[in-house]
Chain A
Amino acid sequence: MLNNDSSIVSPEEYKKITEELYKRNLELATLYKQVDSLNKELGVANENLRNVIKQRESLEHLITHKVKGAFTRSKYIFAGILDGTFGEISPEIKKIAKQGLDSDDTGITTVDLILNVANMQKGIVKYDMKTVDLKEIALKIINEKKDSAEEKGIKIESEIGDDTYNVSGDAFWLKEVTNNLIDNSIRYTQKGGITVRLQKHDDKVLITIKDTGIGINEEDKKHLFTEGGRGQGSTRINVDSTGYGLYSVKLIIEAHKGRVWAESLGADKGSTFYVELPAV
């Protein structure tokens, strides 16, 4: 027998080499079996995941067609009672019908929020990217929210310069973001005020929403922008908190290649939310 340098290999050496090769192959076969076993486990996990996704889609379908439909129908009944469709009503009934209408609106908003998040996660939300001046959006939302804030004794102030604060984005969804953050500040501020600021830094536009509200403790900070992440502070003030509001804000801002974060010195020390987007 010859080896590579044409010298003769003894039968003993040949056997030694063959046995060594066998051992190497055995190691490879063992690894192959482990990989094969992991692949099978992965296959089972994938199948389970597919089932979970199917269940989730089925749940979304149920929410869309049944729950939202039910809210919408009762909303029109309450609206009909309020606008006199069913005849004259007493002030007491009017008050109850108004509460019913508000409750239905909250329900529809919540369902829409969860469905929007589901669509964002699936990547089926189409963003109509155009040049948008964040100043217009911020001032519009501040104007819309002023009354409800003042009813609570909270003042909303703006620190927005004369400049334009143009970003590339979908005006509808950026309005949703601003609306959500200002709404949150109003909801979680019992006294004091809210300041909305717009700034330009280099090639970025920064929206800052600062409040004197309940603040965010260290534990809640960890769950702030996560799916369903309801903090202790938020559920104490707002029992209807879904935990999807800030998560949707994060998904929208990330789709706009921006970032969102929050700072707070702790419980009862107010919060500041920041949204940074590329300027155009």
Chain B
Amino acid sequence: MNPSSQLTQIPIRIIKEQELIIGPLAWEEASRVSGLVIDQSRNSVSFSGDGKDVIDRLVTQYERIFGKASHAVCHEAVQDIVSQMPPDEVPSSLK
């Protein structure tokens, strides 16, 4: 899998993990993140702009409302994806 397709997997994984905890609010909050284009019916996302920055904004969006615990949840949810990515491709919030 190339780094850009790995990157698009990350937001979906994070949103779904947050959905387990806060329900539909997870999708609502994600839709507020600029540069993140969500197609919930297809479970897919795309970025307008730099993907790494968009993911950082998504993590921050959750953390701003729900605190550090939500950051840890984001981090944990994508561990297996991140571990296979080149370090410079990993969004800073998930390092």
- Residues on A close to B: CB < 8 A? 15, 18-19, 22-23, 25-26, 28-29, 32-33
Assembly CA distance A19 to B71 (angstroms): 11
B20 contacts A22, C-beta separation under 8 Å? no
27 chain-A/chain-B pairs, Cβ below 8 angstroms: A15-B65, A15-B67, A18-B65, A18-B66, A18-B67, A19-B66, A19-B67, A19-B68, A19-B69, A22-B21, A22-B22, A22-B66, A22-B67, A22-B69, A22-B70, A23-B67, A23-B69, A25-B21, A25-B22, A26-B21, A26-B69, A26-B73, A28-B21, A29-B20, A29-B21, A32-B20, A33-B20
Q: Tell me how far the C-beta of B16 lies from the nearest C-beta in chain A, rounded to whole angstroms.
A: 11
Q: How far is the CA of A22 from the CA of B71 in the complex (A)?
A: 11
| Listed residue (A19, A22, A33) with the most chain B CB atoms within 10 angstroms of its CB | A22
What count of chain B residues pass the 8 Å CB interface test? 10
Contacts of B63-85 to chain A: CB distance below 8 A: 65-70, 73
Q: Per DSSP, are chain A's interface residues mostly helix, strand or loop, or mixed? A: helix
The CA of A169 and the CA of B83, in the complex, are separated in Å by 70
Contacts between the two chains (Cβ within 8 Å), count: 27
Sorted nearest first, the 7 A-B pairs with minimum C-beta distance are: A19-B67, A22-B66, A29-B20, A25-B21, A29-B21, A23-B69, A26-B21
A-side contacts of B69, CB under 8 Å: 19, 22-23, 26
Q: Please report the C-alpha to C-alpha distance between residue A15 and residue B70 in the assembled complex, in whole angstroms.
A: 13
Chain B: CB-nearest residue to A19: B67
Chain B residues lying within 8 Å of A28, measured Cβ to Cβ, are 21
Residues in A neighbouring B68, C-beta threshold 8 A: 19
Write the nearest CB–CB distance from A9 to chain B, whole angstroms: 15
Residues of A within 8 A of B22 (CB): 22, 25
A33 to B76, CA, bound (A): 14
Q: In whole angstroms, how far apart are the Cα atoms of A236 and B66 in the complex? A: 72
Chain B residues, Cβ within 8 Å of A18: 65-67
Chain A residue with minimal CB distance to B64?
A: A15
List residues of chain B with CB within 8 A of the CB of A26: 21, 69, 73
Chain B residues with Cβ below 8 Å from A15 are 65, 67
Taking the nearest CB of chain A, how far is it from the CB of B58, in angstroms? 16
| CB-contacts of B33-78 with A (<8 A) | 65-70, 73
Contacts A15-B65, A22-B21, A29-B20 known; 8 new A-B pairs at CB < 8 A: A15-B67, A18-B66, A19-B67, A22-B66, A25-B21, A26-B69, A32-B20, A33-B20
Q: How far is the CB of A278 from chain B (nearest CB, A)?
A: 55
> Which residues of B have CB within 8 Å of A32?
20
Q: Which residues of B contact A22 (CB under 8 A)?
A: 21-22, 66-67, 69-70
> How far does the alpha carbon of A129 sit from the alpha carbon of B65 in the complex, in Å?
70
Separation in Å of the B56 CB from the closest CB of chain A?
Answer: 20
B66 CB contacts on chain A under 8 angstroms: 18-19, 22
Chain A min CB distance to B60 (Å): 14
Measured in the bound complex, the distance between the Cα atoms of B22 and A23 in whole Å is: 10
Q: With A and B bound together, what is the CA distance between A11 and B22 in angstroms?
A: 20
A137 to B36, alpha carbons, bound, how many Å? 85
Complex: how many Å from CA A61 to CA B70?
A: 58
Instruction: List B contacts of A25 (CB < 8 A).
Output: 21-22
Q: Closest Cβ of chain B: how far from A236's Cβ, in Å?
A: 60
A29 and B19 alpha carbons, distance in the complex (Å): 10
